[in-house]
Structure 1
């Protein structure tokens, strides 16, 4: 019997046991397998469901300029976070990744190139700048909720450039359907710090923002949503805490349905808190009570970096995994995953070497998709 003659159920059973990085190679085994992996939405749902049954889930991480698929299992006495494989191995170093519905927007190390990428199917799309990219650019990947859901990339910068000795303000949107940039006229009364990472959810992107205040003063932090359908920023959205510049503030998603926010105040208490939203939309946002609160003093005794501190949530175990680094001499620092839970539960997982002040470790949740662009 040829591989192509295997019953459909048996083929799906085999493919569901493969890690995501092996699925791309499996596509080329035969035409039938390629059709299953690249066109069958039912199989994608089954694949995600089987992963959940194994009490494992996958995340995407940047470690040392490389993008990895990682298998996470927090059900064992000793939690494991293991690399499944390197997702992008085209000789290009990646400094930042933005996730939206199974697609990744990657920024190269030198900041001069953008690529939209589907790790599940292997499809990539390099995006040329309208003029040029800026070292302080912020990016987001989203989609319009009409007209066949076209994918869009938001790029903006609103900073003082010391080299040019002037304020640089540019807002523009790239439409992947039309392969064109569109300049958008914004003159915001708020600012988004360069280390605040946006989080895409249901096609829109959420950011922490601050009021523009006089030099030397600190503004309060709030949430903003960029609506890719209306191509505009919405009203201020309420946070479940009073944050300010210097606090560790990070966004994540839960089941691709709700926002999660991590808050650690820049004070000696170092208490870390995580909330999950109960309702989320571009114009309205509400929160459940605190999902997890942890006193970090006896555990680590330091605040997570505002540059790092990305995280993901395991609702079943009521745990949070924060990706950051150790502290100490620059040549001994390690990338680490810190697993935090109820009743003082704390574990750490070593993720390897850290290149000082170069590539901060980063994690984002991930579910495979068959979306093409």
Structure 2
């Protein structure tokens, strides 16, 4: 008797590519033959193409997927903002959890502290004393563990790529350390700043050090502030560095509240940081500024003033060159919001519907136990979606737009 696993390869590919994109794990665990088939580039392209065509056929193209880190786990979320203005019943169901992504060979005990996203690939940082790096293509079910040469408490990372021959992407990881070395409390020696930049190349499977000129008047990439990838390059919000508090004269401390702030871009092709890029507003040191991508060609920036709590969002014009950035007019004035976490608030926008979704905690500032999504629009429109309890009041949900990719790692 012929079994379904014995189908010819082309027929099996045609049948199995009709399964939902969210079903790869069940498919791969059926048999070794299907596991191998599901990881082939031709199969993944066909399945993703079918899913996108079906969505358009059902007029669901406005529903999209997102990656969310919450309670040290990584989830695939579905976001559909259609009709939420007309029916409040649609609000709570507009953001749904579709599945937990981190489950490698049944290893569900892996805790993830941070995720960096680029073109369907995820760079995951484990929540260990000595953090480990894992690059994951959740759709293809592929993972690669990468050993850092050194580890500090305040490492920052970015995932990007260089285009080769305008066809192939050569992926790289940037690791940044810009911190003071831990010293004994009894030491009378001045603190030593550690400033290191390293790049991991997927093609050579190796790290190399990069020399970057950093002076006392240069900028800082804030620890915990994730960059945003656009066209394979990463953008950060940064501010000019200030000296340690004990070194600042008392009469100039107030002047530092309004600090020069800007964006900086790391170009993964030239492997260099570019010049300072403008923001569409001035800001204070305690204000919240966070970035998001709009498709593959634009940036969005959210500005939340710490004292008045007024919140606004701008969207950039199309980015043609990594170090050429300009802003369009104000996209959305969100009015007052609860105080947002300076380094952890994340968001995305629906440019056509003039809506923004901000991920943070519940309204209680002093007991923030509930993970919450705030859907905000024009004319004072504001709704909340309960995402469940938080295991730690200092642990905030983070979200990134996600499109499945057949990139091999």
Match of 2:180 in 1: 160
Corresponding residue number in structure 1 for 2:188: none
Q: Determine which of 133, 155, 165 is the counterpart of 1:137.
A: 155
Alignment partner, residue 69 of structure 2: 62
- In structure 2, the CA distance between the partners of 1:163 and 1:351, relative to structure 1 (3 Å rule), is farther
- SS of the residue aligned with 1:324? strand
Instruction: Give 1:114-263 correspondences, 5 Å limit.
Output: 114-130=133-149, 132-146=150-164, 148-163=168-183, 165-188=191-214, 189-214=218-243, 215=248, 216=253, 217-218=256-257, 219-263=259-303
Corresponding residue to 2:123 among 105, 121, 137: 105
For structure 1, the 5+ residue unaligned runs are none
> What is the alpha-carbon distance in structure 2 between the residues aligned to residue 344 and residue 34 of structure 1?
51
1:93-132 deviation line (CA, Å, top 9, x unaligned): 00100000000000111251011000101100111011x2
Look up the SS of the partner of 1:368 in the other structure: coil
CA shift, 1:209, in A, is: 1.3
SS of aligned partner of 2:99: strand
**Does the 8 Å CA contact 1:36/1:43 hold for their aligned counterparts?**
no
Distance 1:332 1:32 in 2: 45
Q: Does 1:24 align with 2:53?
A: no
Partner Cα distance (2:275, 2:365) in 1? 43
CA contact (8 A) 1:23 1:37 kept: no
| SS at structure 1 position matched to 2:318 | strand
How many angstroms does 1:308 deviate by? 2.1
Matched position secondary structure for 1:290? strand
How far off is 1:24 after superposition? 3.3
Match of 2:317 among 278, 290, 293: 278
In structure 2, distance between residues paired with 1:307 and 1:51:
35
- 2:366 is aligned with 1:340: no
Whether the aligned pair in 2 keeps the contact of 1:95 and 1:359 (CA below 8 Å) is: no
Match of 1:82 among 96, 104, 129: 96
How far does residue 221 in structure 1 lie from its aligned partner after superposition?
A: 1.1
| Greater displacement, 141-150 / 165-174 | 141-150
1:295 aligns with one of 332, 335, 340: 335
Please tell me whether the aligned partners of residues 370 and 390 of structure 2 are also in contact (alpha carbons under 8 angstroms).
Answer: yes
Shift of 1:357: 4.5
Q: Distance in 2 between matches of 1:329 and 1:190?
A: 30
Provide the TM-score with structure 2 as the length reference.
0.82
Following TM superposition, by how much is the alpha carbon of 1:25 offset from its aligned partner in structure 2, in angstroms?
Answer: 2.4
Is the 8 Å Cα contact of residues 21 and 139 (structure 2) preserved in structure 1? no
CA spacing shift, 1:112–1:8, aligned 2, 3 Å: closer
Indicate the structure (1 or 2) with the bigger Cα radius of gyration: 2
Cα distance in 1 between the residues matched to 2:365 and 2:220: 33
| Contact 2:316 2:327 survives alignment (8 Å) | yes
SS in 2 for 1:291: strand
Structure 1 residues 33 and 107: CA distance shift in structure 2, 3 A: closer
CA–CA separation in structure 1 for the residues paired with 2:50 and 2:293: 21
**Cα separation, partners in 2 of 1:169 and 1:8, compared to 1, 3 Å:** closer
C-alpha displacement at 1:187, in angstroms? 2.5
Task: Please give the alpha-carbon distance, in whole angstroms, between the structure 2 residues aligned to 1:49 and 1:318.
Answer: 25
SS at match of 1:24: helix
The answer to whether the Cα contact below 8 Å between 1:93 and 1:109 also exists between their aligned partners in 2 is yes
SS of alignment partner, residue 294 of structure 1? strand
Spell out the pairing of 1:285-324 with structure 2 (5 A cutoff): 285-296=325-336, 300=337, 302-324=338-360
Residue 94 of structure 1 is matched in structure 2 by: 112
CA distance 1:81–1:149, change in 2 (3 Å):
same
Match of 1:362 in 2: 398
SS in 1 for 2:51: helix
Residue 33 of structure 1, CA deviation: 8.6
Deviation at 1:230, TM superposition (A): 0.6
Q: Describe the shift of the 1:19–1:35 C-alpha distance in structure 2 as closer, same or farther (beyond 3 A).
A: closer
